[in-house]
């Protein structure tokens, strides 16, 4: 059901392409190495289901640059086995933001190492940047070296969220914590507005608490009406600097 698949490519540059109103994911890029998407445009209604913009996994050195992604699900979704991915100067919205995961359901999943989301803007999205792992799931991978920097949020419901209790529609059990270790996370220079009360949610695993999380210069205002803007921390001791 994908509009386009760019799988098992090497040393490729894909520029000035528009994909519109896919029935499912717009683009797959699986098992590829040294691939750049530049000036890529994705267009779908905000209410369209499972219309992820670009789904990237099981590859290395993948870049999404200078692009506009408007869709009904993740603007960019990043699966397991991803090494050295860079999302930069992307405008996302509507959609669910940039997501790493969901992870944990397949015991054969591979580690993720080195994800950069930089100098991008999120407009009216359900999330900004998100890491999501399933509880009570078999995978024991490591997710490390993650950098979310210089991002602008415009009325975003969950600007920054680590969710290791990801369980949509109660389709899982919460009796066992996620077995996935998240470490080496930098969250820096995040500005704009949050539509939900929680500007930064770090809900980590009770069995594998997040390690090495640094938060600096987060300047978000609340545009909702339910109380005050807060942050949520579970099973993590972040180091904070600046605002």
Round to whole Å and give the CA distance between 41 and 66: 9
Q: Which residues are catalytic?
A: 96
Q: What is 4-241's CATH topology?
A: Pectate Lyase C-like (2.160.20)
Average pLDDT over residues 130-142: 96
Question: Are 29 and 59 a contacting pair, CB within 8 Å?
Answer: yes
Tell me the domain boundaries of the chain.
Answer: 4-241
Which of 54, 67, 136 is CA-nearest to residue 96? 54
pTM of the model: 0.97
Q: What is the pLDDT of residue 226?
A: 86
How many CB atoms neighbour CB 127 within 10 A?
A: 25
Average pLDDT over residues 139-162: 98
Asked whether residue 163 carries a pLDDT value surpassing 80, the answer given is: yes
Burial of residue 202 (CB within 10 Å: 0-12, 13-18, 19+) is: buried
| Block residue for tokens 């490390």 | 144
Round to whole Å and give the CA distance between 241 and 243: 7
**pLDDT for 3-37, tens place per residue?**
999 999 999 999 999 999 999 999 999 999 999 99
- In whole angstroms, what separates CA 45 from the centre of its chain? 20
In percent, how much of the chain has pLDDT > 70? 100
Q: Which two tokens stand for residue 23?
A: 């029935």
Asked whether residue 225 carries a pLDDT value surpassing 90, the answer given is: no
Using omega within 30 degrees of 0 as the cis cutoff, is the peptide bond preceding 102 cis? yes
**pLDDT for 203-214, tens place per residue?**
999 999 999 999
Q: What is the DSSP letter of 50?
A: T
């Amino acid at each position: 059901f994908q509009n386009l698949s760019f799988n098992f490519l090497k040393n490729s540059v894909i520029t000035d392409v528009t994909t519109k109103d896919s029935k499912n994911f717009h683009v797959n890029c699986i098992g590829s190495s040294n691939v750049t998407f530049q000036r890529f445009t994705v267009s779908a209604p905000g209410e369209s289901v499972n219309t992820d913009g670009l789904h990237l996994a099981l590859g290395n050195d993948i870049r999404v640059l200078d692009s506009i992604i408007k869709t009904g699900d993740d603007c960019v979704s990043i699966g397991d086995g991803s090494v050295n991915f860079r999302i930069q100067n992307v405008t996302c919205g509507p959609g669910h933001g940039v997501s790493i995961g969901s992870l944990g359901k397949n015991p054969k999943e591979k580690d993720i190492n080195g994800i950069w989301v930089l100098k991008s803007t999120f407009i009216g999205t359900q999330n900004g940047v998100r890491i999501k792992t399933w509880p009570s799931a078999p995978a024991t991978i490591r997710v490390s070296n993650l950098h979310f920097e210089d991002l602008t949020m415009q009325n975003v419901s969950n600007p920054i969220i680590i969710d290791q209790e990801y369980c949509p529609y109660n389709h899982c059990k919460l009796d066992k914590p996620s077995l996935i270790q998240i470490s080496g996370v930098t969250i820096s220079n995040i500005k704009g507005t949050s539509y939900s009360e929680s500007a930064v949610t770090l809900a980590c695993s009770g069995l594998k608490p997040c390690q090495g999380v640094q938060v600096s210069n987060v300047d978000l205002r609340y545009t909702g009406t339910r109380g005050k803007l807060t942050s949520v921390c579970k099973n993590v001791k972040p180091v904070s600097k600046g605002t």
